[in-house]
Structure 1
Amino acid sequence: MDPARAAAMAAALNRAAPSGDLPPFWHHAYFWDIQPADHLGRDGHFRTGTGLIPDLGLPRRMWAGGRLEWHASLVTGTPATRLTTLGPVTRKSGRSGALGLVTLHHRITQGDRLCLTEDQSLVYREDPQPGAPRPVPAQADSAPVEETRSFGAMALFRYSAVTFNGHRIHYDAAYARDVEGHAGLVVHGPILAEGLIDLATRHLGPLAGFDYRALAPVVADETVTFCLAGHRAFVRGSDGRLCMDATVRPAT
């Protein structure tokens, strides 16, 4: 695990570069899934049907959430292996039309030591219908611990670069608005999850687990609030909507 990747992640997140143990969730700077250009879809991600994920016939991809369990710290400068297997793939009908739900299971080891297990949840959707009303998101509460942040276009581009994420909703504003129906450039779900993990770790100590759901997109330059209330962490949008909801499990 090249320390230069961790230094790049630190720069992208405006944090101090680590030495030794990798901060939680920074493993997304590693294990890139590199695909040739002719394997990519219109959105910059690899086309479904070319790898583990089957072709669902649904063009819009979003990071829906995940579940993480830390068993041991990942250490920079040491080889690591990630084994990925395909979990359940289901189709259903939602308020916005057909949905495809996909789970990827990851196991990350260093030597013979299991360090991290992660379930990554993805959702695939139909294109938005012209004039269709946007879903009304739930409203978020206040919390004892709150910190505000915003992420501009440069921050999103740098995070895409360090994670080798080609999804155009994070750097192509015209595509994000006109094709996928977003209000602007979309902040990466993992940026929000990492921010909640960082907040929880600073107030509760090291974590054993973190479960989260992405509920409403955050757009570039929007001021959002990272909140912690006991073992619940969440992101509140500038209009009060609940953007991400999580449960944290401190290490004992």
Structure 2
Amino acid sequence: MTERTELLTPEPAHALGALLDVPVPDLERDGLPLLWHWLYLLDRPAQADLGPDGHPTRGVVPVPPAPGLHRMWAGGRVTVHGPLRVGEPATRHSETQSVEDKHGRTGPLTFVVARHRITQRGELVVDEEQHLVYRDTTPRHGPYATPSVPPTADEWSIDVTPTLLFRFSALTYNAHRIHYDRDYARDVEGYPGLLVHGPLQALAMAEAARAGGGTRLEYRLVAPLFDHQGLIVKADKGNTTVRDGTGRVTATGTLR
């Protein structure tokens, strides 16, 4: 179990609003929109605690189950019990909830569930589970089709550029090289491009569905998404998806 307390300031929220070109609410009255807590109470490990891929190897929750494994964000669920208000301190309590080894068709996998609870004014405000998968270092990706299905009028297309991915990494203090180091992503992990963050896809789904309200999002990342493939979001009656330019779905979510 780890704890981190800090005063929530408005700057990260306004930075995300500018990054995605979405409105920022009254942060002191209404609190942060769903999933925007990911910009706050962040782990800031020492440079010496980062592995070759830029991901922390110790001092965080969860700790990678073994050296040299590559991490994938598989999904999670977030429940909001009240507004997380900017201008006040908040505390994040983090723990590893479960670790399970399995053997998939691509080899050994370790499934880890991390739980994070954020309290403010002594009350539970955000309750979150993050589902992570760790695998060995053997590249197993591609090929991927060329984009060919343009967005429709009820979809939101986000221009995924290296600049956007780098800025989102900076906002979330994420040094994982697969999101900004194209040579590393291609030559070491075998990806055909820069990988779009799982949390960025989840945030896009929450934003697409924001107008409908909701305090609980359950989401899954079902396929990798790369910078050259586009990011197209759709929300319909509480169900939301991310797809690439070919129509291939990469993330799904349900907002309640």
- TM-score of the two chains, using structure 1 as the length reference: 0.88
**Equivalence for 1:156:** 165
Structure 1 portions without partners, runs of 5+: none
Contact in 2 for aligned 1:61/1:124 (Cα 8 Å): yes
| Superimposed CA distance per residue, residues 41-81 of structure 1 (whole angstroms, 9 cap, x where no aligned partner) | 11101115876425334521111111011110111111001
Q: Give the match's secondary structure for 2:116.
A: strand
Q: Tell me the C-alpha RMSD between the 2 structures.
A: 2.4
Distance across 2 between alignment mates of 1:69 and 1:114: 10
Relative to structure 1, the CA distance from residue 79 to residue 42 in structure 2 (aligned partners, 3 Å threshold; closer, same or farther) is: same
- State the partner residue of 1:220: 227
Q: How far apart in 2 are the matches of 1:37 and 1:14?
A: 32
The residue number in structure 2 matching 1:211 is 218
Q: Does 1:175 align with 2:184?
A: yes
Amino acid at match of 1:168: R
In percent, how many aligned pairs have the same letter?
Answer: 38
- When residues 239 and 94 of structure 1 are mapped into structure 2, their CA distance, relative to the original with a 3 A threshold, is same
Match of 2:51 among 27, 35, 41: 41
State the partner residue of 1:127. 137
Alpha carbons of 1:17 and 1:146: their partners in 2 closer, same or farther (altered >3 Å)?
A: closer
CA separation of 1:49 and 1:127: change in aligned 2, threshold 3 A: farther
Provide structure 2 residue ranges, at least 5 long, that are not aligned to the other structure.
1-7, 146-150
Aligned residue for 1:80, secondary structure, equals strand
Matched, 1:64 2:74: yes
Deviations 1:177-209 (A, max 9, x none): 11111111111111111111111122x2x2121
Q: CA 1:185 to 1:133, structure 2 compared with 1: closer, same or farther past 3 Å?
A: closer
Q: Residue in 2 aligned with 1:82? A: 92
Which of 182, 189, 198 is equivalent to 1:189? 198
2:229 is equivalent to residue 229 of structure 1: no
Cα distance in structure 1, aligned partners of 2:81 and 2:155: 28
Partners in 2 of 1:213 and 1:135 — Cα distance?
Answer: 22
User: Residue type of the partner of 1:6?
Assistant: A
State the shift of 1:37 in Å: 1.3
Cα distance in 2 for partners of 1:2, 1:183 equals: 37
Deviation at 1:167, TM superposition (A): 0.5
The one-letter code sitting in structure 1 at the alignment partner of 2:156 is E
Q: Is the 8 A contact 1:231 1:247 kept in 2?
A: yes
- Aligned partner of 1:85: which letter? E
Equivalent of 1:147 in 151, 156, 160: 156
Q: Tell me the matched-pair count.
A: 242
1:73 equivalent to 2:87? Answer: no
Give the AA of the match of 1:3: P
